[in-house]
Amino acid sequence: MKILLALFLFISLFVSYNFAQTADFESTLDDENLLIKSDSFLVDFHGQKLWSINVTVDRTVHYKILTAEGKRTLSKLILPQSFDPLYKPHNSSIRNPQRLYDELTITDFTVERLNSNSQQPIAVNRKVEQIRMVSDKDRFVYPERFVYSIDGLEVGDEVRIHYHYFFPYYKNYLLMMSNRFFFHGNEPKEKMFMALSHHAYLEADTNSINGAFPTVETNDNIITYRWQYNNLTGCLDEPGSRPYLELPWFSFTPKPYDLLYQDYNSFREDFIPMWFFLGYSRESKIRTGIINNDLGINTKDNIKFRKLAERYTSTLSDDSSGMMAIRNFQRYVIDSTQYKNDFDLFNNMRNYEKDHPGIELFGGVVREHNKENIYSNMIPKLAYSFFTAYGTDKRTGEMSKNYYAPMLDNELLFCPILHNDAISFLMPKTDLRNLYAEELPFYYENIPLIVIFTFDYAGYKRNFNEILRLINTPASSMKDNSRKVNSMVSIDLNNLTSTFNTKVSLSGQYSTLTRCIYLGDACDSTIHPGYMKSPWEIKGNTTLTHLNADRAEHFFPFRFTANATYNDSSVISKRNGHYTIDLSGWVNHVIFADLIEGSRYTDFYPDFTGSDSWAYMISFNEPLEIVEEPEVFQVENEFGRFVFNIKQTGEKQLLINSYFATESHKVESADIQKVKDIYKAILKSGECKLIIRSKEG
């Protein structure tokens, strides 16, 4: 420990990172709603033993309200605030994972308005909310959060907020196994001070990332890490960013001596690898399925599991890798089973011992609480070994020896080892996840996964496997990801009505993210809402009259086709003998419009590379001519390409084409203008109004 502290001090003295701090700070405030004049953030892990540690948080923040939006933001504050504001777990909706702490006690919450010579207290209203979640014991729990409403604020006010709370570590230790601290926030900070302290006899793993080197001191057996920054930009929430790759952050994992175990062969003592704790609850269920399969126990459920497996192994003569059996099994789960969220079980209204997962799966039912047990039973019966794999959304982090908190509550993957030693990927079905084998949303593509074999855990005459295994998921390319929307439009100039017959062809990520629109499935709420907009969402007077969706291909790139017919009576209007066709809403290229204005401080990562093509062939009931030639847009650079044009292809026909290709995986902040140029052209093209007149008068 002494060597480690000395190393920290050495690095902090001789290495300087300046990215986090901006010299021309005032110029960054033009588009901001709130300014943090100072932020003092203190965290203390007080105690040595698991059962005696208390975690204390003390924070004082001095705000200046710059706009009405800033006033609205500051008028509501929720405690506890997560140490890691970036992390947003993916899981089934009924589980609702959040970072709330049991037995949290708030000892102070005060708000003061700061005048030139005095401080004026501001009254606050407090409301306690119970948030329903599912615990690792598969029962509903209701941890509390505290909502503070602050009234009477005005633009220009300077306000100081102080709060102090604590909670017992042993009641929340799974939430505290892998902590990540960022110094930047969504608002700019003139001054940022943070201190993290713990008892010298409490071991801890610490890592300074992207230059987050602290000064370290030890007094009275208390180790304290300190950081101080000036002029931090408010860039933690920039659209399309991955702040963990650029901004400074610090990881902290406390290791109480209660978590020591003894090596079976040498009697050496060491700490249990912390990631094993985070996956223990799920791995215990998975291990049961593996053992049942190894022992060949003939329960009614195992008989049904075997019958279902034989359906996919006995009929495939040319499946040397075994991939087809995996694909067909996952297709059965996705297309032929009904998901049950197990509300009654979690609400303690049903006994889990009465469940029969094999019988229910064979009959077309997947239940939330044992969906992972289904895979641990079925994959071995399909003649595979497998790993369980834990990842996280690459927009917010990546798994490593420094960070593995998502193992607790993010969805997991199953990785069957195929007959050719390749690895496949399966995501269990939930109300929000209906993906075929090898199908991953963009935020799980090309990410590191922590993979665990269930017998990595210590057992009889067996030590823990102390090696952290990491593998990467596959990635799609630009040619794999495409959307093609082709529509035949009939416009009646007499009745001012239009009819659209539209074919939508999806491939790769466009299929994964958007086919839910056409199938009526739940859609991913964590992605850009633009993906959820259907072609018939043009105007308020659009009526969908027919929709036919084909079944998606269950292998990469998961091609999907849908056909829709819809009518609209508001896209065309007539005035002074001229007809105006309002093209707003006809084309829906997904862009981050908030990125266009203001400065950029972190690199930009588009969701994925790919192409998005929209074409409308418009037929009229009379010959026509264009009164005003519409603007043509063509922008091409290293980021991508955008083309928009309108052509008259016959005396009664017009053709509208809009094409947007994203070609770069990353654009550095210094080159963000390339993204802005294309996005601006896309926005401007969406405002087009086409003016025509009939040749027949």
**pLDDT of the residue at 13:** 37
Q: Is residue 171 part of a domain?
A: yes
| Cross-strand pairs, 658 | 614, 644
Q: Is residue 503 part of a domain?
A: yes
Residue whose C-alpha is closest to residue 275's, from 253, 249, 302: 253
Tally Cβ neighbours within 10 Å of residue 236: 20
Q: Do 53 and 166 belong to one domain?
A: yes
Q: Do 60 and 143 belong to one domain?
A: yes
Q: Which H, E and C letters describe 348-378, residue by residue?
A: CCCCHHHCCHHHHHHCCEEEHHHHHHHHHHH
Q: Do 20 and 165 belong to one domain?
A: yes
Q: Do 495 and 619 belong to one domain?
A: yes
Give the sheet arrangement for strand 124-130, strand by strand: 76-79, 144-150, 124-130
Q: Domain range for residue 220?
A: 2-260
Q: How confident is the model at residue 23 (pLDDT cuts 50, 70, 90)?
A: low
Tokens standing for residue 450: 């922590």
Q: How confident is the model at residue 383 (pLDDT cuts 50, 70, 90)?
A: confident
Q: Do 312 and 246 belong to one domain?
A: no
- CATH number of the domain enclosing 428: 3.10.620
Return mean pLDDT, the chain. Answer: 91
Q: Do 181 and 311 belong to one domain?
A: no
- CATH number of the domain enclosing 612: 2.60.120.1130
- The full DSSP string for 584-596 is TTT------GGGS
Q: How confident is the model at residue 328 (pLDDT cuts 50, 70, 90)?
A: very high
Q: Is residue 543 part of a domain?
A: yes
Q: Three-state DSSP class for 598?
A: coil
Q: Do 488 and 447 belong to one domain?
A: no
**Which domain-ending residue is among 449, 472, 495?**
472
Q: How confident is the model at residue 352 (pLDDT cuts 50, 70, 90)?
A: low
Q: Is residue 269 part of a domain?
A: no
> What are the backbone dihedrals phi and psi of residue 446, each rounded to the nearest 5 degrees, phi first?
50, 50
Q: Three-state DSSP class for 130?
A: strand
Any residues with CB less than 8 A from the CB of 514 and at least 6 apart, and which?
Answer: 483, 506, 523, 531, 532
Q: Do 483 and 468 belong to one domain?
A: no
Q: What is the pLDDT of residues 462-488, one digit of tens each?
A: 677 778 899 999 999 999 999 999 999
Any residues with CB less than 8 A from the CB of 68 and at least 6 apart, and which?
Answer: 155
Q: Residue 96: left if φ>0, alpha if ψ -120 to 50, beta else—which one?
A: left
Q: Is residue 668 part of a domain?
A: yes
Q: Three-state DSSP class for 206?
A: strand
Q: Do 316 and 342 belong to one domain?
A: yes
- CATH number of the domain enclosing 45: 2.60.40.3140
Q: What is the pLDDT of residues 38-74, one digit of tens each?
A: 999 999 999 989 999 999 999 999 999 999 999 999 9
**pLDDT of the residue at 6:** 42
pLDDT at 393 over 90: yes
Q: Do 133 and 216 belong to one domain?
A: yes
The rounded distance, in Å, linking the Cα atoms of 355 and 340 is 12
Residue whose C-alpha is closest to residue 515's, from 564, 560, 565: 560
- Amino acid making up residue 465: N
**pLDDT of the residue at 273:** 86
The rounded distance, in Å, linking the Cα atoms of 396 and 394 is 5
Number of separate domains in the chain: 3
Q: Do 451 and 484 belong to one domain?
A: no
Q: How does DSSP classify residue 657?
A: E
Overall average pLDDT of the 558-584 stretch = 93
**Which domain-ending residue is among 451, 472, 493?**
472
Q: Is residue 268 part of a domain?
A: no
Question: How far is C-alpha 537 from the geometric centre of its chain's CA atoms?
Answer: 25
Overall average pLDDT of the 146-169 stretch = 96
**Which domain-ending residue is among 196, 228, 260?**
260
**pLDDT of the residue at 15:** 40
